[in-house]
A and B are shown apart, each in its own frame.
Chain A
Amino acid sequence: MKIVVVDYGRGNLRSITRALAQVGADAVVTSDPADVAGAGKVLLPGVGAFADCMDGLKSRGLVEPIRHFCRSGKPFLGICVGMQLLMDEGHEFGRHEGLGLVKGITSKLPETMGDLRVKVPHIGWSQLEPGAPWKGSPLEGHPAGGQVYFVHSYAAAPADPAVRLATTPFAGASFCSALRKDNVLGFQFHPEKSGPAGLDILRRWALN
Chain B
Amino acid sequence: MVPLSETAPRAVASSSVRVIPRLDVKAPNLVKGIHLEGLRVLGKPADFARRYYEEGADELLYIDIVASLYGRNNLVEILEETTKDVFIPLTVGGGVRSVSDIKTLLRAGADKVAINTAAVKRPEFLAEGARAFGSQCIVLNIEAKRQPSGKWEAYTDNGRERTGVDAIEWAKRGETLGVGEILLTSVDQEGTQKGYDWELIKLVSSAVTLPVIASGGAGSLEDFPRAVRECRADAVSAAHLFHYKKHAISDVKKALAGAGLAVRA
Contacts and interface: CB of A to CB of B under 8 A. Distances in A.
Contacts of B190: none
Given A124-B211, A192-B87, A195-B53, A153 B134 contact: yes
A119 B210 contact: yes
Interface in A161-208: 169-171, 190, 192-196, 198-199
Residue from A10, A119, A150, A169 having most chain B Cβ neighbours under 10 A: A119
Nearest to A175: B14
Given A119-B210, A193-B87, A124 B18 contact: yes
A199 B87 CA distance: 8
B134 A47 contact: yes
B259 interface: no
B219 interface: no
Given A14-B107, A22-B87, A153-B180, A125 B18 contact: yes
Contacts of B10: 117
Nearest to A148: B264
Nearest to B138: A121
A122 interface: yes
Nearest to A154: B134
B45 interface: no
A15 B12 CA distance: 30
A169 B15 CA distance: 9
A118 B137 contact: no
Given A123-B211, A151-B136, A18 B264 contact: no
Interface of A: 10-15, 18-19, 22, 47-49, 52, 81, 93, 111, 113, 116-126, 147, 149-153, 169-171, 190, 192-196, 198-199
